[in-house]
Structure 1
Amino acid sequence: MTVMSPADTVFGLLTVLFAAAAGHGLRQLVPSRSVGWTERVDHLLHTVMALAMAVMPWSWGRALPESPQTLFFSAAALWFPLTAAVGRPPGSWPGAVAGRLPYAGGMAAMAWMNHSMAGSHHEALAGGPPAPHHAAGGHAAGGVVLADTLGGALALWLLAYALWSLTRDMPGLGRARRTAPAHTAVLAPGPVGHPYGHFWDGSMALGTAVMLLMPH
């Protein structure tokens, strides 16, 4: 009987989470007159990210080319803030951009993970970095520190957003049950028109943060 390592157990749980998030994203892609083209692209990007995250930890998932994924998710990270101003008056742009930064952070984290895995893969194929490489001016060591700092900053950002998103509706649950009509109480959490939207946003952010902190 094969015993899964603790890391494989965590990766298995994350795979289930991301697969469920991908299913939720596919449901949001169902045609609806109330959903604009920007929001459809948002859901598509989240679905692709969830699918990629679900297979990333496993050896067969790592066979996917990393460079195209890095470029794709880098572009996706820019998509969210750049499209925040679409259809909005200029005075509301800062708030709109700020509201989409967590999504941009998730895409940036995905791009960073693919980039870092590609670098590790190339080093492994070359037999690992040679010893003089670390002693030549400290540039390599500085790059490693910078990469670790960036990864840690993204993980902390996503973790903070996950905790905020998962708990933001908790203080009002009791009052919502007493005041909201029965047919709307279930739809109260999450953004308007997206049942449990805060839960899915927070879960994706939490899973991404854990993936950033896990060894790849």
Structure 2
Amino acid sequence: MIADPLLRWVVTVLFVVAAGIFVTALASGRASGPRRVSELLHVVMAVAMAVMAWPWGLGVPNAAGMVFFLLATGWFLLRGACGSGAMCGGPIAWYHAAMMAAMAWMYAVMGALVPGQHGSGHHGGGQHGGGQHGEHAMAGEHAMAGHLGMGAMPDPAGAAAADPGWITGVNWFWTGFFAVAAVILAYRYFDGRRQHRSAAPELSADDAGVLGQAMMAAGMAIMFAVML
């Protein structure tokens, strides 16, 4: 979760509006079968990120989320590898694959599932339990608190420990990656609107899609920034 209420609402609005744009694209019926799957994956990602910003989002099973978005990464890698045909995703599919991989990484870090991370491989993806299992779940929850900008949580068992530096380095990479992507996509959106406004004053489906992706990138940059 994000501790600051204003920032939490900012990222929630970004992801909810983006999800609405992708749902609209799905409802239009113009997308092909593979593209509909891709749009649906973007909807799931936007909703998952909005949920992650809130305290009750800590109850989502991290291992399940990680596996789901790894599979989504594979889907976009396949779409990128098949070229630019009608059934393929073209070069942008590689960016979408990176988005899904970043999402899987975020779930892995939040759940202390990264090899070498304190408590990795010991707790049940955010689920609480009794005995030793419950202690490991608390360790993972403590890690989530530190990564997502929460205040320190009591840890009588001494479970809290700093993560390896390379994990922070990866988070820095994703923060910069999505910050740059947000700027590029925002430029593409406003440039597209400038070019299309004279012919079609209303927002085109392509422009709306770019706007949704820009919002997703901005939200992802913020979420990774609060993990640093």
Shorter-chain TM-score bucket reads 0.7 to 0.9
Matching of residues 197-208 of structure 1 within 5 Å:
197-208=209-220
Does structure 1 residue 112 correspond to structure 2 residue 105? Answer: yes
Among 143, 154, 171, which residue is 1:151 paired with? 171
SS at the partner of 2:80? coil
SS at the partner of 1:127? coil
Could you list the structure 1 runs, at least 4 aligned residues long, displaced by more than 6 angstroms after superposition.
none
Unaligned runs of 5+ in 2: 113-117, 119-125, 127-135, 143-154
Residue by residue over 1:104-133, the C-alpha shift from the partner in whole angstroms, topping out at 9 and shown as x without a partner, is 2221221111111111764247834478xx
On the 8 A contact 1:19/1:51 being kept in 2, the answer is yes
CA–CA distance in structure 2, aligned partners of residues 145 and 187 of structure 1: 44
Residue by residue over 1:30-72, the C-alpha shift from the partner in whole angstroms, topping out at 9 and shown as x without a partner, is 262x321110111110000111111112221111111000011
CA–CA distance in structure 2, aligned partners of residues 15 and 174 of structure 1: 28
Corresponding letter in the other structure for 1:55: V
Corresponding letter in the other structure for 1:186: E
Among 133, 138, 157, which residue is 1:127 paired with? 157
Matching of residues 10-49 of structure 1 within 5 Å:
10-30=7-27, 32=29, 34-49=30-45
CA–CA distance in structure 2, aligned partners of residues 88 and 24 of structure 1: 23
Among 196, 208, 226, which residue is 1:214 paired with? 226
Q: Which has the larger radius of gyration?
A: 1
Query: Given the two structures, how large is their TM-score scaled by the length of structure 2?
Result: 0.70
Unaligned runs of 5+ in 1: 132-140
Does structure 1 residue 59 correspond to structure 2 residue 71? Answer: no
Query: Given the two structures, how large is their TM-score scaled by the length of structure 1?
Result: 0.74
Higher helix share: 1
CA–CA distance in structure 1, aligned partners of residues 35 and 224 of structure 2: 26
Give the root-mean-square deviation of aligned CA atoms. Answer: 3.0
Q: 1:7 to 1:86 in 2, by over 3 A?
A: same
Aligned residues: 188
Residue by residue over 1:52-109, the C-alpha shift from the partner in whole angstroms, topping out at 9 and shown as x without a partner, is 11111222111111100001111112211211244746xxx9x92x322221222122
Does structure 1 residue 76 correspond to structure 2 residue 76? Answer: no
CA–CA distance in structure 2, aligned partners of residues 130 and 26 of structure 1: 40
Q: Percent identity?
A: 31
Does structure 1 residue 161 correspond to structure 2 residue 166? Answer: no
